[in-house]
Amino acid sequence: MAIKISSLNKQGVFWNIAVATIAIIVAAPILLILTSVFSPIDDIWRHISSTVLPKYISNSIYLMLGVAFGVSILGITSAWLVTMTKFPAKRVFVWAHMLPMAIPAYLLAYIYTDFLQFSGPVQTFIRSFGLKKQDYFFPEIRSIWGAIFILTLALYPYVYLLARAAFLKQAASPSQAAKCLSANPWRIFFVIALPIARPAIVTGIAIVLMETVSDFGTVDYFAIPTFTTGIYRTWFGMGDKIAAMKLAAILLLFVLALLGLEHSSRKDYKPLRQQATSKPVAYSLLGFRAFLAFMFNFFAIAAGFILPFLLIINMSFHNLGSFKSSFWQYARNSLILASSSSLIIVALAIILAYGLRIKASKFNHIAAQIASLGYAIPGTVIAVAIIMSLGYLGTLMQKIGLGFFFIGTLFSLIYAYTSRFLTVAFRSIQNALTDITDNMDNAAKTLGHGTGSSLFKIHIPLLRNSIYTALIIVFVDVVKELPTTLIIRPFNFDTLAIQIYRLASDERLAESASAALIIVLVGIIPVIFLSRSISNKS
Amino acid sequence: MILRRILLLIFSVFFAFATAQNGEVNVYSARHYDSDIALFKDFSEQTGIKVNLLEGKSDALIERMISEGKNSPADILISADAGRLWRAEQAGLLASLDSEILTTRIAAQFRHPENKWFGLSRRIRIIVYNPNEIAVGEINNYEDLADPKWHGQICVRSSSNIYNQSLLASVIAADGTVKAEEWAKGLVNNLARKPQGGDRDQIKAIAAGECNIAIVNHYYLAKMIDSSDKTQHNAAVNVKVVFPNQSNRGAHVNISGAGISANAKNYDNALKLLEFLVTDAAQAKFAAGNFEYPIVDGIELSDIVENFGEFTADPINVAIYGELNPEAIRIMDRVGWQ
């Protein structure tokens, strides 16, 4: 018996070290940014805080509130409808809600602006009836409302995915019990289903908000001064790296506080003591209600995917000459990067989440929190921080005679993606792990399985859906990723996202449509493929 | 097992990509034009020297060079703006070049005083207007745009754009900080809409009737005139061009330019490439492929650009744009130029 305990302790130490190592390596660039909080206040900092900082803060907060509201309404409602009710075409909607993920937010911003702006087709059509600028009202797409609209459409699938997974997992019994007691569906939704799904939903919103604060493409295109645009302006306009890092660090502290809220929202949450054994009850919607449910889902997907996709197709149809054979090369590069890094990142996320479950030291908890901040840092800023860390590492290795150099290798790219995207995978897996009761671990222990073998025999099979979800999200994120790829990639190595950036930066939007079309198609493949394996199981 | 695989992957990837071949020229470029790639191809065909290209944003490329330090594989840095070259030089990234070809072909105004970077092509920030609403000769100088009579009629992109920052820097250099701030304030008061979009969007906005005046880089107008897209073409041919400040300092010129890295491993071949880029043939490609003004005089312009007419350019050394860039942004922040 004594031998067994000591071997278990050893395993605990193993997980402890594994978690600490991963977290510290991933967190290195983030720590680099955080340390700048302590740098002295300089003149530029004074200029910023007395002129534009209040605007940055208020705009960022409005943006976050708006997007949080938008994705909650779209994500939760659609997840509830397709999971817990029956209405026409529901089976299509189940996977179609993931499609908007395939379109990068910046692309969505370009397309909608082109479509809705004053000189675009919609308003030109309105004016063709003889109206002038001052004769009619049309909402300005390049506004904070426009940015909320774009980011909501681009990001609601995150909440949808996590909420749906949570609704699916819910044991049917509480809802069934409630149904027997003839509680109405609204009551069941608000009193039972929503509270049980809350941690997953909060995780989804946290991910969305991190992506919102780090978004640069949309807010820059719309010229909305937010924290992110401020960081870029300070760094690249005024050439003050320290002040910019300081702004980024403030943003991170804010995000940390937000994540603290998320964490505390879990405290009173008790995981269900059983896995869902039966299918959840599904309410059959009839007549007008079925019509409403159909329309809600249809409009979300139409606005988030169908319309922009058709506009891209239309645009690339008018620019057939812009299809080049080199696109297959770019698509191949995007695919290689996305598949290899999504596998690695999800594997690391599993080790991290499981390791924290086995043995959670305070140090590791904090390290994991910091390591998962990368998602909230504007792309170019984290990219530069990564380059700086790799630069230090390279110099260090050279000093000890290894002559090993990192920047510009695929390894450095995957490392960078890990720093950026580990959060998404880590949070969705950690969230799902809390739903596996400790009894499972204990049973495995009693049967003589070590922590490693119970991870493979018990946890990973139970986590299957969440692992697939994490793989989809990371894969699509890497395909869409621009700033980090742009600065860390090797020579003569372009991806689809980079091709779009090249053309868009020369304001050749129409010509970039063909690359955009392919990026969306590449993004759709895993979405369909993996969502099938998720729904097959359920 | 997994660890061994990961290590194997790391090593194979490392050897596949990080080894710089001797003699090949490695270019970090912030220009994203297909015509540049064609130029590098020409160079390789003529000399047998391979060119490896990494495109990115200039600031990020500069940061990468700083982080890579002595190990940097970059031989040449190309930027689409003089201010960024100034910044790279300030960071000690660029070597002083001793090339008679470069110094004789490129006017002193368009290169670093100690020859650490050189202009390759010129772009002019012009004013365009709707001739149906505004008479010829009503707008002559950048300074005129602050006149309250243009209230609600001007379109310009956001102040985060480097071309606007350099323009304001040139106004500071010419008129002083106080007057430059008054000018920026007047300009902002005259805007027809919140600054947004790119330069082409400003021209489209004139066509759509949203504003009557816009500030844009000349080659965007040329590219729109050349465009097969009817809407773009029509919008562009219906505006009139003003080369500003012709009776005084001249129109604001910015450059695309390049320098050789202080840590270049292939210095000789890099210099060959720079010298190739200022040959008549290469310069003609900058003009024909991208509608820029060549840095070397006497090169044939594209027809469209030729039609814009003759103009006098501001003779100030473009390095000043980099130096005054932070000041320009402060002014923009203060006057609320978004």
Question: Could you tell me if residue B308 is inside a domain?
Answer: no
Closest residue on chain A to B219 (Cα): A506
Interval B282-294: pLDDT, tens: 999 988 888 999 9
- Could you tell me if A347 lies within 8 Å of chain B, comparing CB atoms? yes
Q: What is the 3-state secondary structure (H, E, C) of chain B?
A: CHHHHHHHHHHHHHHHHCCCCCCCEEEEECCCCHHHHHHHHHHHHHHCCCEEEEECCHHHHHHHHHHHHHHCCCCEEEECCHHHHHHHHHCCCECCCCCHHHHHHCCHHHECCCCCCEEEEEEEEEEEECCCCCCCCCCCCHHHHHCHHHCCCEECCCCCCHHHHHHHHHHHHHHCHHHHHHHHHHHHHCECCCCCCCHHHHHHHHHHCCCCEEEEEHHHHHHHHHCCCHHHHHHHHCCEEECCCCCCCCECEEEEEEEEECCCCCHHHHHHHHHHHCCHHHHHHHHHHHCCEECCCCCCCCHHHHHHCCCCECCCCCHHHHHHHHHHHHHHHHHCCC
Number of domains in chain B: 2
Average per-residue pLDDT in chain A? 83
Q: Do A408 and B13 touch (CB under 8 A)?
A: no
Residues A428 and A337 in one domain: yes
Residue A90's pLDDT is what? 85
Residues A8 and A52 in one domain: no
The complex's ipTM? Answer: 0.82
Rounded to an integer, what distance in angstroms lies between the CA atom of residue A29 and that of residue A23? Answer: 11
Q: A334 and A292 in one domain?
A: no
**Same-domain status, B181 and B191:** yes
Q: Is the dihedral of CA A375, A379, A381, A385 positive or negative?
A: positive
Cβ-Cβ contacts under 8 Å for B205 (sequence gap 6 or more): A118, A119, B155, B192, B193, B197, B211, B214
Of A48, A405, A488, the CB nearest to B71: A405
Residues B56 and B187 in one domain: no
Percent residues over pLDDT 90 in chain A: 19
A303 close to A112: Cβ distance less than 8 angstroms: no
- Residue B171 belongs to domain with CATH number: 3.40.190.10
Q: Are residues B241 and B264 in the same domain?
A: no
Of residues A36 and B29, more confidence is placed in B29
Percent of chain B residues past pLDDT 90, beyond the cut: 74
Q: Is the per-residue pLDDT at B31 higher than 70?
A: yes
Rounded mean pLDDT, B44-69: 91
Question: Does residue B143 register a pLDDT over 70?
Answer: yes
- Tokens 């243009």 correspond to B150
Cβ pair A388:B207 closer than 8 A: no
Mark yes or no for CB contact B160/A507 under 8 Å.
no
Burial of B200 (0-12, 13-18, 19+ CB in 10 A): buried
Rounded average pLDDT over A442-457: 81
- Considering the domain architecture, whether residues B57 and B128 belong to the same structural domain is answered as no
Q: Residue range B80-88: average pLDDT?
A: 90
Residues B118 and B131 in one domain: no
CB contact under 8 A, A498 and B87: no
Q: Which residue, of A289, A318, A347, is where some domain finishes?
A: A318
Q: In this predicted structure, what is the pLDDT of residue A166?
A: 83
Using pLDDT thresholds of 50, 70 and 90, give the confidence band for residue A176: low
- Residues composing chain B: 338
Tell me which of A255 and A506 has the higher pLDDT: A255
Nearest Cα to Cα of residue A474 among A175, A101, A167, A204 = A101
**Do A60 and A80 fall within a single domain?**
yes
CB contact under 8 A, B67 and A44: no
Please, which pLDDT band fits residue B19 given cuts at 50, 70 and 90?
very low
Per-residue pLDDT of A13-30, as tens digits, reads 888 888 888 888 888 888
Do B245 and B261 have their domain in common?
A: no
**CA A139 from centroid of its chain's CA atoms:** 28
Residues in chain A closer than 8 A to B33 (CB atoms): 506
Overall pTM > 0.90? no
At which residue do the structure tokens 């800023």 appear? A381
Question: Span B216-221, mean pLDDT?
Answer: 95
Contact B325 A220 (CB under 8 A): no
Q: For A62-81, what is each residue's pLDDT tens digit?
A: 999 999 999 999 999 999 99
Clarify whether residues A375 and A268 are in a common domain.
no
What per-residue confidence (pLDDT) applies to B41?
95
What residues make up the domain containing A25?
A: 1-32+326-538
Structure tokens, B10: 């790391």
A288-314 pLDDT per residue, tens: 888 999 999 999 999 999 999 999 998
Domain match, A235 and A350 both: no
pLDDT of residue B15: 46
Interface test with A, best of B5, B24, B57, B61 (most A CBs within 10 A): B57
Residues of chain B with C-beta less than 8 angstroms from the C-beta of A17:
none
| Mutant choice from B44, B196, B211, B238 vs A, greatest count of A C-beta within 10 A | B196
Whether residue B28 is contained in a domain is answered as yes
Confidence band for B233, pLDDT divided at 50, 70 and 90: very high
Tokens of A60: 């960022």
Domain of residue A361, CATH code: 1.10.3720.10
Mean pLDDT, residues A260-275 taken together: 63
Higher per-residue confidence, A7 vs B141: B141
pLDDT of residue A273: 47
Given pLDDT bands bounded at 50, 70 and 90, which one contains residue A280?
low
Number of domains in chain A: 2
The token pair at A380 is 């170019």
Listed residues A265, A291, A318: the one ending a domain: A318
Q: B16 and A48 in contact by Cβ < 8 A?
A: no
Cβ contacts (< 8 Å) between A487 and chain B: which residues? 56-57, 60-61, 63-64
Do residues A299 and A401 share a domain?
Answer: no
**Whether residue A245 sits in one domain with residue A157:** yes
pLDDT category at B167 given cuts 50, 70, 90 is very high
**Is residue A22 located within the same domain as residue A44?**
no
Please report which confidence band the pLDDT of residue A271 belongs to, taking 50, 70 and 90 as the band edges: low
Tell me how close the Cα of B29 comes to any Cα of chain A, in angstroms: 11
- What is the structure's pLDDT at B60? 86
Looking at the structure, do residues A243 and A133 belong to the same domain, yes or no? Answer: yes
Return the minimum-mean-pLDDT range out of A157-171, A180-194, A283-297, A346-360.
Answer: A180-194
Q: Does A114 touch chain B (CB under 8 A)?
A: no
Structural domain span for residue B73: 2-122+255-302
Check whether residue B55 and residue B30 sit in a common domain.
yes
pLDDT at A177 over 70: no
Q: Do B64 and A407 touch (CB under 8 A)?
A: yes
Same structural domain, A410 and A500: yes
Q: Do B60 and A240 touch (CB under 8 A)?
A: no
- A257 is written with which tokens? 């506080």
Q: Are residues B106 and B28 in the same domain?
A: yes
Chain A (94-113) residues lying within 8 Å, Cβ to Cβ, of chain B: 113
For A52, the closest of B196, B210, B333 (CB atoms) is B333
| The pLDDT value given to residue A487 | 84
Do B172 and B189 have their domain in common? Answer: yes
Residues A190 and A107 in one domain: yes
A-chain residue closest to B164, CA distance: A237
Identify the domain boundary among A291, A318, A345. Answer: A318
User: What integer pLDDT is reported at residue A269 of this predicted model?
Assistant: 60
The yes-or-no verdict on residue A141 having pLDDT over 80 is yes
CA dist A228 and A219 (Å) reads 8
- The mean pLDDT of B296-319, rounded to a whole number, is 91
* Model confidence pLDDT, tens digit, residues A361-400: 888 888 888 888 888 888 888 888 888 888 888 888 777 7
> Least CA distance to B16: which residue of chain A?
A409
Mean pLDDT of B227-241: 91
Contact between A431 and A200 (Cβ < 8 Å): yes
Q: What percent of chain A has pLDDT over 70?
A: 90
Residues B248, B99, single domain; the answer is no
Separation of alpha carbons B14 and A423, rounded Å: 26
Q: Is residue B248 part of a domain?
A: yes
Give me the pLDDT at residue B49, please.
Answer: 94
Average pLDDT rounded to a whole number, residues A264-275: 59
Say which residue, A505 or B99, is predicted with more confidence.
B99
Q: Do B319 and B198 reside in the same domain of the chain?
A: yes
Distances (CA, A) of B319 to B90, B172, B322: 11, 13, 6
- The more confidently predicted of residues B120 and A123 is B120
Q: Please, which pLDDT band fits residue B3 given cuts at 50, 70 and 90?
A: low
Whether chain B has a CB inside 8 Å of the CB on A222: the answer is yes
Residues B273 and B320 grouped into a single domain: no
Q: How far is B99 from chain A (nearest CA, A)?
A: 27
